[in-house]
Structures are given as structure tokens and as C-alpha cells.
Amino acid sequence: MATWTIDAMHSEVGFKVKHLVISTVSGKFKSFEGTVVAEKDDFSDAKITFSADVDSIDTGVEQRDAHLKGADFFEAETYPKLTFVSTSIEKDGDDYKLTGDLTLKGVTKPVTFNVEHGGVGLSMYGQTVGGFEVTGKINRKDFGLTWNAVTEAGGIAVSEDVKLIANIEIVKEA
């Protein structure tokens, strides 16, 4: 059994959401952690846990970040973490379909992510590392993130669909 941990220095966890239906706003979580436990070298039996600190959300605009942390969206003080716990992983060629329970704002729903396996190798320090790109989409309203505004033209300010993109490097524990 091997345990791997996320190397946060070489990983990023982000999201994209349409604004006014015409442009995209990107953001990321700056503080997160996770583990992968697998018996098989190909990760086909992996058990994955992940969490991010909601207060670490960063869209590059302080006022927007404060709004996202507040009552209209994440309620970071009441719900300080978002979490993911895998329930299954299916090999799809060299890649995977990863299913698990995502919890945001106290609401847990099953989600499936596409996982592209970048490979396994040795770091400059002789550690065994693996790389993955994780992508998927959720409807934010499914998790109680329901705030929106209607523009003068009758459009919506923020899309319900949120794309999730994570580039993850994991390090095998000795």
C-alpha cells in the first residue's frame, strides 16, 4: 500500500465561471491538501481525499473574493472547507473517471471528474512523483451557491455551471 500526498508547491486548484454569459472569470484556491492511497501502481484502486480552505479563494479581485467568502456564496466562516472523498475510480485507457462525494457549503453531492494521468517519475530530490490533470463541471446551485443578479438587459450575472480544473503533483511517502 502506497500513500501519496499533494505537493501544493507544484499543484494548482482552480475554477472558471461565465460572467454575463460573455466572458469567463477564473479563480483558484491557494490553500489545499490531499492524499492518494493505492495498492496498485496504475492507481486503478486509488482512494482519494482532498480539501481546500474556502478562505484561500483568489480571483485576483479583493472585493469579489470577499463577496465569494460571504453569505451570498460560500459562507467561509460557517463552512471553512470544501472536501472531496472518492467513491470509485475507473481506468479509461491511460486516464481515469473519478467519482466521489464533493461537499460545498454543507451540501454533499456525487460528482465525476475526468483525470488525465501525466505519468510517474523521479523529482530532482529523488522522490517518486505523479502528475494528474483533473477536470469537471458542477452546477453551483446544487450546492446552495444560489446568488445571482439580473442585468438591465435581462441576462444573468453569474452562470450556474462552474468548470473545475486542477493540476496536481503527488509525492510518494517513503
Question: Which range among 15-29, 55-69, 145-159 shows the weakest confidence by mean pLDDT?
Answer: 145-159
pLDDT digits (tens, 9 = 90+) for 5-44: 999 999 999 988 766 555 677 899 999 999 999 999 899 9
Domain ranges of the chain: 2-172
Q: How far apart are CA 99 and CA 101, in angstroms?
A: 7
Beta bridge partners of 143: none
pLDDT in tens, 48-58: 999 999 999 99
In sequence order, what E strands does 32-127 have? 32-38, 47-53, 57-58, 81-92, 95-104, 107-122
CA distance 114 to 26: 19
Domain formed by 2-172, architecture: Beta Barrel (2.40)
Q: Which amino acid is at 41?
A: D
